[in-house]
Structure 1
Amino acid sequence: MTLLILVTLLWAFSFSLIGVYLAGQVDSYFSVLTRVLLAAAVFLPLINWRTPPRTALSLMVIGAVQLGAMYLFYYQSFLLLSVPEVLLFTIFTPVYITLIDDLLKRHFSWWNLLVAAIAVFGAAVIRWDELSGGYWRGFLVVQGANLCFASGQVAYRQFMQSAGYREHPLPQRQVFGWFFVGASLVVSIAWLALGQADYPKTPIQWGILLWLGAVASGLGYFLWNKGATQVSAGTLAAMNNALIPAGLLVNLLIWNRDAHLPRLLAGGLLIVAAVALSEWHTRQRQQQHRRN
């Protein structure tokens, strides 16, 4: 879980950097394209070009969905909803993670669903604001982003633990470049079709894009997905909402934006409780398995 915590802290700065320096100033599709291509550039030199075709293709599909398609839904949602509404509707991601994981394993875990529900409730405590009318279309668009991000995490976790990958194991850093190749194909097509000529105009904007691409997207997604293979589905689901209090806290401390501190504390404690419950349950199952 250490990797997930580190990436949560890393990504906590991204929202504010985008909101303060890029949003409304740089074309969103160009920002996404730049981030993904920079992330791909970090990992392409590490690719083992003898990667089995099944592994390469699987990772390309996962990257196309988890990162590429997710961004397309996500940025479209800002044209339909206010920022608080978009953030509010992202809190359903943990539920999707548990349900997709159970579906792939062909069993249902009430415990994982409970952990996800606690995390969702904690995020809702922090982010609940009055909703404007006519938001259902936007709600569905955000759920498309949530489903893409959730299914990509679960698929990566399942694939890395599958017998097919264990038959031809390679260090994850040597195959993760295929993830960004798949994402790059999707966002390149989207930028060519939908992008506008609104490019960065200052060195600060270019520097932020470089940071977001090489570090937040490149290193961040690699460590997050690797961390996803080391925890239970319940913990992974709960950690998806840990970014909300972390991002709000960074925004409050550095950019002095308004935040409701009692709600931030209460919601953050609920999310921490969800993660702790999941970890406790996992340890109990491991101890029981060793006894048997």
Structure 2
Amino acid sequence: MILLILITLLWAFSFSLIGVYLAGQVDSYFSVLTRVLLAALVFLPFLNWRTPPRIALTLMAIGAVQLGLMYLFYYQSFLLLSVPEVLLFTIFTPVYISLIYDLMARRFSPLNLLIAAIAVFGAAIIRWNNLSGDYWTGFLVVQGANLCFASGQVAYKQFMQSQQSRGNTLPPRQTFGWFFIGASIVAALAWLILGKPQYPSSGVQWGILLWLGAVASGLGYFLWNKGATLVSPGTLAAMNNALIPAGLLVNLLIWNRDADLPRLALGGAIIVAAVALSEWRNRASKLTSDP
């Protein structure tokens, strides 16, 4: 749980950094490629090149979806929407996580869906006002990012847990490089086909790409996915929406954007309540299952 909280605080700055300094100024496909390549470089020194092919290919596929495809949708959304709007439209990620997890597990958990719905309700309270003219297009683009991010989280969680049950002792840091290699392949193809010669023109933009790639993506996704394997599906779903109040708060305090503080506080409190409900349910189930 603590890992998810720490990475939420880390990622809270990413929305505004992209929206203020990169969107419309640097080619989005180049930004995605640079970010995932830098993240891959962080883990290449630790990569076990003798990883069994099945594990390597599975992690590459998960990375291609969760990070590669997600970023392609995500960066495009900043060309259509403001930072608060992008944040708002991510509220549906918990619902996707809950439903995808249950679908892959071949079961239906009404409580997981309820926890995700509570988190969605809390996020919706924060900001639901006049939206830009690109509302529907932007909405669909963000949902594409949400679906990729949600399915990747669930797939990684289930895959790593299955490996642990089989006695696979390879440390995640020695295999996570495959995750970024898969994302890099998708980003490179997209840049070669759709990219434009619109590159960073200042040290600030290069510095932001370096930070987003090496720290927010490299360290961030490793710790987030590790944290995802340690919590219940309901907690993972709810924690995805904790990014919204955190991101809006950063946007307000640093870039002086308008935000409704009472709504921010109320919505954030509801999201926290969703996480607390999931943790309480998880602990209660452990107590009842213990002899």
Asked if the contact 1:29/1:191 (under 8 Å) is kept, the reply is yes
What is the RMSD computed on CA atoms of the aligned residues?
Answer: 1.7
Whether 2:46 is the aligned partner of 1:40: answer no
Asked if the contact 2:30/2:191 (under 8 Å) is kept, the reply is yes
Whether 2:118 is the aligned partner of 1:114: answer no
Name which of structure 1's ranges 65-74 and 36-45 shifts more when overlaid on structure 2.
65-74
Name the structure 1 match of 2:185: 185
Asked if the contact 2:13/2:250 (under 8 Å) is kept, the reply is yes
Name the structure 2 match of 1:221: 221
Name the structure 2 match of 1:129: 129
Give the Cα–Cα distance (whole angstroms) in 1 for the partners of residues 183 and 98 of structure 2.
Answer: 24
Letter in 2 for 1:130: N
Letter in 2 for 1:50: R
Asked if the contact 2:87/2:247 (under 8 Å) is kept, the reply is no
Whether 2:114 is the aligned partner of 1:104: answer no
The 1:164–1:228 alpha-carbon spacing in structure 2 relative to 1, beyond 3 Å, is closer
Asked if the contact 1:3/1:227 (under 8 Å) is kept, the reply is yes
Name the structure 2 match of 1:24: 24
Q: Quick one: percent identity of the two aligned structures? A: 79
Letter in 2 for 1:34: T
After superposition, give the CA deviation of every residue in 1:209-255 in whole Å (9 maximum; x if it has no partner): 11110000000000000000000000000000000101111122222
The 1:165–1:198 alpha-carbon spacing in structure 2 relative to 1, beyond 3 Å, is farther
Give the Cα–Cα distance (whole angstroms) in 2 for the partners of residues 141 and 36 of structure 1.
Answer: 20
Asked if the contact 2:84/2:248 (under 8 Å) is kept, the reply is no
In structure 2, runs of 5+ residues without a counterpart are none
The 1:80–1:257 alpha-carbon spacing in structure 2 relative to 1, beyond 3 Å, is closer
Asked if the contact 2:15/2:83 (under 8 Å) is kept, the reply is no
The 1:122–1:104 alpha-carbon spacing in structure 2 relative to 1, beyond 3 Å, is same
Asked if the contact 2:93/2:237 (under 8 Å) is kept, the reply is yes
Pairs aligned (count): 291
The 1:79–1:24 alpha-carbon spacing in structure 2 relative to 1, beyond 3 Å, is closer
Asked if the contact 1:62/1:152 (under 8 Å) is kept, the reply is yes
Give the Cα–Cα distance (whole angstroms) in 2 for the partners of residues 188 and 52 of structure 1.
Answer: 25
Q: Alignment partner of 1:167: what SS?
A: coil
Give the Cα–Cα distance (whole angstroms) in 2 for the partners of residues 277 and 92 of structure 1.
Answer: 19
In structure 1, runs of 5+ residues without a counterpart are none
Whether 2:89 is the aligned partner of 1:89: answer yes
Per the TM alignment, residue 82 of structure 1 is displaced from its structure 2 partner at its CA by 5.3
Asked if the contact 1:126/1:263 (under 8 Å) is kept, the reply is yes
Q: Alignment partner of 2:170: what SS?
A: coil
Give the Cα–Cα distance (whole angstroms) in 1 for the partners of residues 138 and 9 of structure 2.
Answer: 28
Per the TM alignment, residue 156 of structure 1 is displaced from its structure 2 partner at its CA by 0.2
Name the structure 2 match of 1:176: 176
The 1:39–1:24 alpha-carbon spacing in structure 2 relative to 1, beyond 3 Å, is same
Asked if the contact 2:19/2:83 (under 8 Å) is kept, the reply is no
After superposition, give the CA deviation of every residue in 1:22-48 in whole Å (9 maximum; x if it has no partner): 222211111111100000000011101
The 1:70–1:165 alpha-carbon spacing in structure 2 relative to 1, beyond 3 Å, is farther
Asked if the contact 1:87/1:127 (under 8 Å) is kept, the reply is no
Asked if the contact 2:19/2:78 (under 8 Å) is kept, the reply is no
Letter in 2 for 1:283: R
Name the structure 2 match of 1:250: 250
Whether 2:167 is the aligned partner of 1:153: answer no
Asked if the contact 1:176/1:222 (under 8 Å) is kept, the reply is yes
Give the Cα–Cα distance (whole angstroms) in 1 for the partners of residues 165 and 180 of structure 2.
Answer: 19
Letter in 2 for 1:65: V
Give the Cα–Cα distance (whole angstroms) in 2 for the partners of residues 47 and 33 of structure 1.
Answer: 20
Name which of structure 1's ranges 138-147 and 218-227 shifts more when overlaid on structure 2.
138-147
